[in-house]
Amino acid sequence: MAKVTNLNRYRKAKARTDKTRQAEENRARFGRTKTDKTLVTTRKTKASSHLDGHKLDKDNE
């Protein structure tokens, strides 16, 4: 007699591998490196301080 196999186990295993493969693709496409993140943060900080330096105070009028 043939061995009974549980197809749900294979279906779930395939779904898990598909999900991890999709996650890897998304990390490669949309993920940012640490260098990119720090560069953006540095630019934001520099722009903010530059704009704050050009503000007019009410005391100077």
Number of structural domains, the chain? Answer: 1
pLDDT at 11: 96
pLDDT at 38: 96
pLDDT at 61: 54
Q: Tell me, yes or no, whether 1 lies in a domain.
A: no
Grade residue 1 by pLDDT with cuts at 50, 70 and 90: confident
- Domain that residue 34 falls in: 21-51
pLDDT at 60: 58
Q: Which residue has the tokens 């105070």?
A: 57
Q: Tell me, yes or no, whether 11 lies in a domain.
A: no
Give tens-digit pLDDT for 12-61: 999 999 999 999 999 999 999 999 999 999 999 999 999 998 888 877 55
Q: Tell me, yes or no, whether 61 lies in a domain.
A: no
Q: Tell me, yes or no, whether 31 lies in a domain.
A: yes
